Amino acid sequence: MYSANVCTLKMKYAVALLIVTVLATVASGAVIQGIRRSNLSQGYVYPGDRLLSRHYLSQPARPNTIQYQDYTYRGNYSTRISAVTATEVGYTQYASAWVIAGGVGYSSVTVRVQSAKGYGYNFVIDVWGR
Ligand SMILES: *[C@@H]1O[C@H](CO)[C@@H](O)[C@H](O)[C@H]1NC(C)=O
Ligand SMILES: *[C@@H]1O[C@H](CO)[C@@H](O)[C@H](O)[C@H]1NC(C)=O
């Protein structure tokens, strides 16, 4: 009787652990897909680097909708990007930004910004390099 109870408890514990693991996996998957709120910061600004581009992207909230937009900076043949940042301006709207092409070490970069469902976004995207 007693040991049977312990066994049931252990099983419940194992099932609970399993559920937590599955939830954690789903959550980290969400981060990769850019559903979680986040700023973008890739690379480092070195002495001698210049701000090659500063660009603002914003959209007002739209009910029940996830909105996204891509911004591309294209340098010339000698451009080397050293850092790319996208920072939410003002109060957070739980938006995300990530690099979908090029980036640090390349001459061009494409950044995608995406709103949370039912929210808008307001980002400033900076590209540094030389
Ligand atoms: C993104 O950057 C803004 C401005 O610096 C800051 O207020 C906000 O907390 C940052 N968001 C995250 C998730 O770090
Ligand atoms: C190429 O781009 C760099 C910035 O990355 C700029 O400083 C340079 O003047 C450009 N060269 C030409 C030929 O346009």
> Over the stretch 25-76, which tens digit does the pLDDT of each residue have?
333 333 334 444 589 999 999 999 999 999 999 999 999 999 999 999 999 9
Pair (66, 114) in one structural domain: yes
User: HSE on the CB side for 46, CA within 13 Å?
Assistant: 8
Query: Is residue 58 within 8 Å of 120, Cβ to Cβ?
Result: yes
39 lines ligand 1 (CB under 6 A): yes
Predicted confidence (pLDDT) at residue 14 exceeds the cutoff of 90: no
Q: Which of 4-18, 67-81, 110-124 has the lowest mean pLDDT?
A: 4-18
Q: In this structure, which amino acid lies at residue 67?
A: Q
How many structural domains are present in the chain?
2
Rounded to whole angstroms, the Cα distance separating 124 from 54 reads: 7
Closest CA to 82 of 126, 34, 113: 126
Q: Which domain holds residue 27?
A: 1-32
Ligand number nearest CA of 79 is: 2
Which ligand is nearest the CA of 128, by number?
Answer: 2
Q: Are strands 96-102 and 50-59 parallel, antiparallel or unpaired?
A: unpaired
> Is the predicted pLDDT of residue 126 greater than 70, yes or no?
yes
Do 59 and 97 fall within a single domain? yes
Residue with tokens 């600004």: 45
